[in-house]
Amino acid sequence: MAQKGNGRHRADVELNLLEEFEVRSRRSVREAERARQSRAARRLARKQAKLERANRLRLAHESARQGKTSGRFIVRRRVGKSVRHRNWMRRAAMLVSAGLMGAFALPAYAYNPEVSAMVGFATTNPSLYSNSSEFQQLVVSAVNTFKLARGNYSSTDAAEVQRQEILNGVRTYSGLTAEDYLANPAYKNINASKVLEVASKYVGTPYVFGGITPAGFDCSGYVAFVFSQFGVALPHSVHGQNRLGQLVKEADALPGDLVVFDDLSHDGIYAGNGNFYHSPRPGDTVKLAPIFTPNVHFVRLFQQK
């Protein structure tokens, strides 16, 4: 017969279980401590990288103010080089999305009383226009859509209509582009007064993200389009434009220089007396305005006389 366990054996088993539990607990504590230290090291590395980036921006800003321009150069006129050879996918996506938004929004525009009043409709009843050849195509489409949308009517304000008109204008723009001007510059010589003259032509042009035509500009697209008319090829980005040219001190800045925000979020064309031409933000237009922050530096793209 098997011998029954005595008290000593049970005590040994319980002691072994406690020792194993203690070993596992110590191992868990060590692993948790190593994980905590690893997380702390990663946080410290990210913090140091952030501080290093901030220091580089600060040093660049200070160098610009002190006139230290080592390693920078004057950009050369380059004729025939594409300014948007890397941005065709973004432009294509923007045009497709603009077309889709315009197509889906048509029913709301056709039956919005405010919009009908803006375009000269006296009523939103499509049957009253069914015999008019001028509106025949619109009414046929609208009647079919109205049956599906009945009970889901929502008003569209004038700002939305204007936004759609701007996007449609960008999509259908057929005028001269930056590439056209680079291939055949409008001006043989470049000087500050002529740059400001060209920049002022586009005051009032609406802001469009990714825009680089007179139908709509973003900040870097506006700068690139203006300088393309002088045969100067600039990338369609603030970062890229900031890398070209020569840093100059604020006291030495002249009209025609670029005004670049220190965090590279925005740029424009310096007009003198603390003002600059720029395309500010969505819902706004190209304008001449005061430089509204001290955190800027100046980049010279051509030899000032």
Query: Per-residue pLDDT for the chain (305 aa), expressed as one digit of tens each?
Result: 555 555 555 556 566 767 777 777 788 888 888 888 989 999 998 888 888 888 887 777 676 666 555 444 445 445 444 444 556 666 777 777 766 665 555 554 444 544 444 444 444 454 544 454 444 444 344 444 444 444 554 555 788 888 888 989 889 999 999 999 999 999 999 999 999 999 999 999 999 999 999 999 999 999 999 999 999 999 999 999 999 989 999 999 999 999 999 999 999 999 999 999 999 999 999 999 999 999 999 999 999 87
Q: What is the pLDDT of residue 6?
A: 57
**Residues 142 and 280 placed together within one structural domain of the fold:** no
Domain boundary among 155, 172, 189: 172
Q: Flag whether 50 is in a domain.
A: no
Which residue's entry shows tokens 């690139």? 224
> Total structural domains in the chain?
2
Distances (CA, A) of 282 to 56, 115, 279: 30, 22, 9
- Cβ-count burial of 116 within 10 angstroms (0-12 exposed, 13-18 middle, 19+ buried)? middle
Give residue 244's domain range: 67-89+173-300
Domain boundary among 137, 152, 172: 172
Q: What is the pLDDT of residue 108?
A: 46
Q: What is the pLDDT of residue 142?
A: 41
**Residues 202 and 289 placed together within one structural domain of the fold:** yes
Q: Flag whether 109 is in a domain.
A: yes
Domain boundary among 172, 198, 217: 172
Q: Flag whether 7 is in a domain.
A: no
Q: Are 198 and 232 in contact (CB under 8 A)?
A: no
Q: Flag whether 33 is in a domain.
A: no
The DSSP letter of residue 285 is: B
Nearest residue to 170 via CA among 123, 214, 129: 214
**Residues 240 and 98 placed together within one structural domain of the fold:** no
**Residues 261 and 168 placed together within one structural domain of the fold:** no
Q: What is the pLDDT of residue 140?
A: 41
**Residues 84 and 139 placed together within one structural domain of the fold:** no
2 vs 199: CA distance, rounded Å = 103
**Residues 163 and 181 placed together within one structural domain of the fold:** no
Q: What is the pLDDT of residue 111?
A: 44
**Residues 164 and 200 placed together within one structural domain of the fold:** no
Q: Flag whether 13 is in a domain.
A: no
CATH code (residue 75):
3.90.1720.10
**Residues 208 and 79 placed together within one structural domain of the fold:** yes
**Residues 182 and 248 placed together within one structural domain of the fold:** yes
Q: Flag whether 61 is in a domain.
A: no
Nearest residue to 214 via CA among 185, 172, 254: 172
Q: Are 288 and 276 in contact (CB under 8 A)?
A: yes
Q: What is the pLDDT of residue 14?
A: 61
**Residues 104 and 242 placed together within one structural domain of the fold:** no
